[in-house]
Structure 1
Amino acid sequence: MTETSDFLELAQVSKFFGSVIALKEVSFGVRPGEIHCLLGDNGAGKSTLIKLLSGVFQPTAGEIRIAGKAVTLASPRNALDQGIATVYQDLATVPLMSIARNFFMGREKTKGRGVLRRLDWDFMNRTARDEMSKMGIDIRDPRQAVGTLSGGERQCLAIARAVHFGARILILDEPTSALGVHQASVVLRLIARAKARGLGVIFITHNVHHAYPIADRFTLLNRAKSLGTFAKAEISREKVTDMMAGGKELVDLEAELEAIAASETAQPTAEPRLKRAAGV
């Protein structure tokens, strides 16, 4: 069941780099068991917002709150410790290493003591297989290289890893941007399963057609500013597209293209012009 209060909130957050405004007074929140889509075109401020939430940057102004309390996300490790996991577009996996080794990277399970201490491969292999199975992906062998997995399966690995290590908020950076139709649908199902397991998901994308079917709420960014947060029942797919892309710009472009087409139609073709020049 979706909780009614936001677990993670941004309150009037701004980020400046000298005179450059990367984000200005952006506010939104995400609840456990909710998919909150953050939509914006290139240059809207999505990447800066990801880095603020993952502890890479700190806000110039405003507050980040967890469970109603203002916090400082001093580093990516600090953000993880507070339950915020970010899955970046490049997934941060090592293609030549095994699925299980990638799953436990930096948190390897060991057994034994002293000079007899060693990696507990049985535990890591079993856990990686079981956690990915819970997300709907059955892998053949957790010892196989990650480079042999499809794009959707790699996304499953990254999401399952975040869930296993205690994430309460999952930030997904353009998870479907480089995928075909089938693999994108696999990832969208993974996002829905993460929601069903009680995670709050911030799904960052510029693709309305991927976002709209699974989102509970939308926040739209345009040129570093928020255009507002809307529940799905409050806004149509067409309105989301219009606000994100800039409806006036599209209307102006359409009128300009029609004018160009009309002017080209009115001009004589090249062949009659050449005949007249030759005196034919």
Structure 2
Amino acid sequence: MINVSTRVLRALIALDELRHFSQAAERCNVTQSAFSQMISKLEAEVGLRLVDRDRRRVSLTGDGERLVASARRIVAELDEIGADLRDHAGMNKGRVAVATSPPFAAHWLPPLIARFRARYPGIRVDLFDHLPPKCMELVRERQADFAILSAPGPLAGLQYRVLMQESFVLACPADHRLASRKRVDLRDLEGASLIRYARSGSIGQHLEHAMRGIAVEEVMEVEHLPTVAGLVAAGLGISVVPSIAVPFFDASKVALVPVLSPGLERPIHLVWQTSRLPGPAAKAFIDLLETSLPRKKKSA
């Protein structure tokens, strides 16, 4: 294999363009003696005479012409790679891909993405809205830089940290007996008609544990937040929903009351691949995300 540095290739290009050793040496910021040694070592490395020298003129041999044509392509590609890397490092170019569940994708992330794009217009943001298992698969396959999940589950090849603790609210018809409360406890729901989340989902499992021992009438069990919002608005029952779900509800028909019960909050995690550090664009998005997290209000 030929072991030639880009510095030597640039020297050969300069010599081809200027056809003068001293001028080419000046362009390359070396002495003429050092420049001549670079060219001689290049000829020794490739085993060919590349330059015809006489007192009046310098020209490349046929082999030198072929090599300098390849040198131009190589140097141009390296310059392009370098410029691209500088653009990525300077946040002028790049991509960040986020995977998260539909409720976060629908209402929480869009304003953040808009702020990020306004700050870094050259960075492309891709958003994947899926259930947690698919989100983790996307991170493992490096299609997403990170995921934001309420229940990460098995984390082979992944690591996580808690971003925040999400609170819950009671969603009930505006004329319900609990609608005028400033806050409620889960025990206040005793005897109520409850629209429950499917126990197969992370929200349903979290509430199943928190509401043990509380006697309610289960009206129906559904999987999606828009369905819960429609059923509550129709007066078919009440529900306990994570705070991310608030925008799904019609405030003219539904009252949303904070639920203050020990152990009800659920952790929201940032999940990323163990063997892969976030790049500059992903790190900038995470920084913006963390500064935009809802602050927990202190109870009076």
> TM-score by structure 2 length?
0.24
Name which structure has the greater RCO, CA cutoff 8 Å, separation 6+: 1
Higher alpha-carbon Rg: 2
